Amino acid sequence: MWKEIDKQIDLKAETPAVESASFLSRLGRWLDRYRSQIITGAVSAGAVATLALVLHGGGSATTHTSHDPIDVRPVVHRPAEIEDLDTPEGTSTVFNLDDEDGSTTVIWVTAEDTVEGI
């Protein structure tokens, strides 16, 4: 085994500088050294992509454009009815706004130490 190591060391000492080698030859040597890692990575990426397509349903997701109507459903089907709100160390105001689209309740809370007019 030591004879083979000595031969490799002697061959490397006699080999001209790698700087003069072309890009394609350096790329070929690099691919020879890391072939198994490249193949493993490519196979793994392919397996993950295949699983993603299979589990996602074959890419059947729909996309909405600006012309497609988006179905929006309210979370609460009945309007909130808040008349008054107790706020310790502050004040609160409740607004119930009704229009043709439905109703909206806005609760405005202000701390007592807030300086108004600034």
What pLDDT is attached to residue 109? Answer: 82
What pLDDT is attached to residue 45? Answer: 94
Domain boundaries, the chain: 2-56, 76-112
What pLDDT is attached to residue 7? Answer: 80
What pLDDT is attached to residue 17? Answer: 54
Average pLDDT along the chain, 118 residues, taken 10 residues at a time: 81 59 85 88 93 74 58 63 73 80 79 68
What whole-number distance in Å separates Cα of residue 85 and Cα of residue 93? 8
> Which tokens hold the place of 43?
């196979």
What pLDDT is attached to residue 46? Answer: 93
What pLDDT is attached to residue 49? Answer: 92
What whole-number distance in Å separates Cα of residue 32 and Cα of residue 75? 60
Question: Which string of b and e fits 46-73 if b means at least 16 CB within 10 Å?
Answer: eeeeeeeeeeeeeeeeeeeeeeeeeeee
What pLDDT is attached to residue 65? Answer: 55
What pLDDT is attached to residue 32? Answer: 86
Judge contact between 108 and 92, C-beta under 8 A: yes
The pLDDT tens digits for 38-71 are 899 999 999 999 998 888 765 444 554 556 676 7
